[in-house]
């Protein structure tokens, strides 16, 4: 009896393996929020001060959670249209997962030394790399015929462009560091959310993409 290799199962494994890596990366972020250790008879004010000193790390946790969440949503959205896999796609997807799994480190670095330029640059480069590799994986899938057929062309362009919003905003923010310092750069990252919303609205109106 002839049996076909289970190609659909292969694609499913790539998706679930990715889900597991995303889930672990997103959960490991919290490990960096270490509980302050105090002497036995420390006052409540001491504890409160120690907790407030954790706030930059909480900010880092929230930010990285938000970005990894966006990336997972993008990954999930891309897989609506991907219906086949090949070795090249599996390899590029692994590269993407390597970038995602790395994020807890620059997040911890930012939480500890977010007032200096070098950690901010490392953080921006790490998160941007993940966004760019994600877009590359989508373009590769579209080029090598792994997506549903026919895929409306605007869909490809929009999905590619949306994946680049985080890298675009973050990399641009680096420009201000020499003049205004790392904190202003970090503030600029808040733009990721409105840019996303505006972009989605424009894409829906002009390209007819229903998200």
- Restricting to residues 161-180, which ones interact with its own copies according to CB under 8 A? none
Q: Binding segment for its own copies among 97-105, 127-135, 171-179, 181-189 (CB under 8 A)?
A: 97-105
83, 136, 168, 176: residue in contact with its own copies (rule CB under 8 A)? 83
Residues 142/156, Cβ–Cβ less than 8 Å: yes
Reported for 88-95, long-range contacts at CB under 8 A and 24+ positions apart, including other chains, are: 88/140, 88/144, 89/14, 89/137, 89/140, 89/141, 89/144, 89/146, 90/10, 90/14, 92/133, 92/136, 92/137, 92/140, 93/14, 93/18, 93/137, 95/133
Question: What is the per-residue DSSP string for 142-155?
Answer: HHTT-B-SSPPHHH
25, 127, 130, 185: residue in contact with its own copies (rule CB under 8 A)? 25
Q: Binding segment for its own copies among 102-110, 131-139, 166-174, 186-194 (CB under 8 A)?
A: 102-110
Q: Closest distance between its own copies and the C-beta of residue 164, in Å? A: 19
Question: What phi, psi does 82 have (nearest 5°)?
Answer: -90, 125
Q: Closest distance between its own copies and the C-beta of residue 186, in Å? A: 17
67, 92, 109, 127: residue in contact with its own copies (rule CB under 8 A)? 109
49, 53, 91, 193: residue in contact with its own copies (rule CB under 8 A)? 91
196 belongs to the binding site for its own copies (CB under 8 A): no
């Amino acid at each position: 009896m002839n049996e076909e290799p289970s190609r659909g199962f292969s694609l499913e494994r790539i998706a679930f393996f990715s889900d597991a890596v995303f889930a672990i990366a997103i959960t490991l972020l919290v490990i960096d929020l270490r509980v302050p250790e105090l002497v036995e008879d420390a006052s409540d004010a001491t504890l409160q001060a120690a907790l407030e000193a954790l706030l930059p790390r909480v900010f880092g946790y929230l930010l990285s959670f938000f970005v990894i969440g966006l990336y997972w949503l993008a990954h999930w959205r891309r897989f609506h249209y991907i219906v086949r896999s090949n070795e090249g796609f599996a390899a590029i997807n692994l590269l993407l997962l390597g970038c995602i799994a790395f994020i807890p480190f620059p997040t911890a670095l930012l939480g500890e030394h977010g007032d200096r330029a070098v950690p901010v640059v490392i953080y921006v480069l790490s998160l941007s790399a993940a966004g760019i590799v994600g877009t590359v994986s989508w373009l590769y899938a579209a080029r090598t015929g792994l997506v549903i057929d026919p895929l409306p062309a605007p869909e490809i362009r929009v999905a590619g462009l949306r994946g680049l919003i985080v890298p675009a905003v973050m990399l641009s923010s680096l420009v201000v560091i020499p003049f205004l310092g790392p904190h202003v750069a970090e503030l600029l990252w808040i733009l990721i959310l409105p840019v996303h919303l505006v972009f989605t609205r424009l894409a829906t109106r002009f390209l007819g993409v229903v998200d």
